[in-house]
Amino acid sequence: MQEQVIKMTGIKKIYHVGDEDLEVLKWVDFELHKWEFASIMGESGSGKSTLMNIIGMLDNPSGGNYFFDWIDISKATDDEQALLRRRNIGFIFQWYNLLPKTPAIKQVMLPLVYQWVPAKIRKQKAIEALIKVGLGDKIYSLPNEMSGWQQQRVAIARAIVTDPLLILGDEPTGALDSKTGNDVMEIITKLNEEWKTILIITHSAEVDKFAKKHIFIKDGMIM
Ligand SMILES: Nc1ncnc2c1ncn2[C@@H]1O[C@H](COP(=O)(O)OP(=O)(O)OP(=O)(O)O)[C@@H](O)[C@H]1O
Ligand SMILES: [Mg+2]
């Protein structure tokens, strides 16, 4: 039996818009185990990003149970959730979310600052992560000196530098063309082969085929 990373049951999310209740997630049961590589697919507006924000502890569900690494998230305070998130989850978003005017190495070192890692080790780990994503020659480059896919590699290095339990990607290739998108998915596949647990959210069949477990969300439920 593989160790569980995520276990959700009956997760709901209701947004209040004006005087209307928008029930985006009706009932989500979902499990992810260590070393799995899963994708969640669904049409635009089906609730993928909403679910990812809950999984990533960026937002709280309106109901249901969520255990991350066996910890009951509904009982964790916002500060405890933030700590769990920083230690255990690496995020990759569609738009790389890099800091402007900041060299790659500094971007990648940043998550380690929050973990009180000494500066010398931060630097060493950031360089290792950049080499791992094939950017060994771009360590001191600025975002505006890099192409989109190189920037997304910096974002991947930033996501893996803390050696997180889970890597979460929301449309990680959404801003890239299919060739560079495939390159990025190959890097993510390699991370999975090196025993990282991966969950990707996408509406692209091309991205979905890299995953080994496929989940479909429709009308606020997992099919
Ligand atoms: N903060 C919010 N307040 C109100 N409604 C929201 C909010 N966030 C999302 N929604 C609505 O919830 C639904 C699901 O949105 P979500 O972003 O999760 O979809 P998605 O599957 O990620 O779509 P896409 O493929 O376009 O990224 C949509 O109808 C959206 O308009
Ligand atoms: Mg989305």
Write the pLDDT tens digit of every residue in 186-216. Answer: 999 999 999 999 999 998 899 999 999 999 9
Please, which pLDDT band fits residue 1 given cuts at 50, 70 and 90? Answer: low
State which ligand 1 atom lies nearest to the alpha carbon of 203.
Answer: 25
Please, which pLDDT band fits residue 96 given cuts at 50, 70 and 90? Answer: confident
The range of the structural domain enclosing residue 8 comes to: 4-222
Total domains in the chain come to 1
Residue 222: Cβ-neighbour burial (10 angstroms; 0-12, 13-18, 19+) = middle
pTM passes above 0.75? yes
CATH assignment of the domain containing 30: 3.40.50.300
State which ligand 1 atom lies nearest to the alpha carbon of 217.
Answer: 21
**Which ligand has the nearest atom to the CA of 169?**
2
The residue-averaged pLDDT of 95-109 equals 94
State which ligand 1 atom lies nearest to the alpha carbon of 44.
Answer: 25
What span, in angstroms and rounded, lies between the C-alpha atoms of 189 and 15? Answer: 34
Please name the residues in contact with 85: beta carbons below 8 A apart, sequence gap of 6 or more. Answer: 56, 57, 58
pLDDT score at 8: 97
Pocket lined around ligand 1, Cβ cut-off 6 Å: 15, 17, 22, 24, 42, 44-50, 203
Nearest CA to ligand 1 atom 9: 50
First to last CA, the chain: 24
Percent of the chain predicted with pLDDT > 90: 91
Write the pLDDT tens digit of every residue in 152-188. Answer: 999 999 999 999 999 999 999 999 999 999 999 999 9
pLDDT score at 105: 98
Q: HSE-up of 220 (CA within 13 Å, CB side)?
A: 13
Hey, which of 16, 48, 50, 55 would you mutate to test ligand 1's pocket, going by the most ligand atoms within 8 Å of its Cβ?
50
The residue-averaged pLDDT of 2-15 equals 94
